[in-house]
């Protein structure tokens, strides 16, 4: 069984998230998603609208996702790859090159981001709608 992993906050789920999850799953048979905890988001200077528990529940409902684990720090990826017997690590190409250290442990694949959508854009657009 070919196992894939990807990481992210996945807040305010949108088509860009679904596109990367679908393509990641298409690379193997099993997809693990490591979702940033609320505490790790604070380290990433991100404030998610949905709590970790709700983001986890939402991701677990997606057909492409087989397992959800917490992402608590920047240092856990090598252990995650080892402990979960991961064959392929996947991230959007806004992270191109940032995780090449994992090439010693698994295949590293950066996939093109979906253009025109982001959680930040959603928040900005909603602010404009609600504030004229």
Tell me how far apart the alpha carbons of residues 34 and 89 are, in angstroms, rounded to a whole number. Answer: 11
Position 50 contacts ligand C2G (CB under 6 A): no
Tell me how far apart the alpha carbons of residues 23 and 82 are, in angstroms, rounded to a whole number. Answer: 22
Position 20 contacts ligand C2G (CB under 6 A): yes
Q: Is 44 a catalytic residue?
A: yes
Q: Is 121 a catalytic residue?
A: no
Picking from 18, 29, 95, the residue whose alpha carbon sits closest to that of residue 62 is 18
Q: Residue 51: phi, psi to the nearest 5?
A: -65, 165
> Helices (H), strands (E): how many in the chain?
5, 5
State which residue, 3 or 24, has the beta carbon closest to ligand C2G: 24
Position 108 contacts ligand C2G (CB under 6 A): no
Position 28 contacts ligand C2G (CB under 6 A): no
Q: Which one of residues 4, 92, 106, 108 is an interface residue with ligand C2G (CB under 6 A)?
A: 92
Position 59 contacts ligand C2G (CB under 6 A): no
Find out whether 88 and 28 touch, Cβ atoms under 8 Å. Answer: yes
Residue numbers at the binding site for ligand C2G (CB under 6 A):
7-10, 16-17, 20, 36, 71, 91-92, 94, 113-114, 117-118
């Amino acid at each position: 069984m070919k196992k894939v992993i990807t990481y992210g906050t996945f807040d305010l789920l949108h088509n860009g998230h679904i596109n990367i999850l679908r393509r990641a799953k298409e690379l193997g048979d099993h997809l693990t998603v490591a979702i940033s905890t609320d505490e790790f988001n604070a380290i990433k200077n991100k404030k998610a609208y949905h709590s970790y528990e709700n983001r986890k529940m939402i991701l677990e409902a997606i057909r492409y996702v087989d397992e959800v684990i917490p992402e608590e720090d920047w240092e856990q990826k090598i252990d995650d790859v080892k402990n979960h017997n991961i064959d392929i690590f996947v991230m959007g190409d806004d992270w191109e090159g940032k995780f090449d250290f994992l090439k010693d442990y698994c295949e590293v694949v950066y996939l093109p981001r979906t253009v025109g959508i982001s959680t930040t854009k959603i928040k900005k657009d909603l602010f404009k709608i609600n504030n004229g």
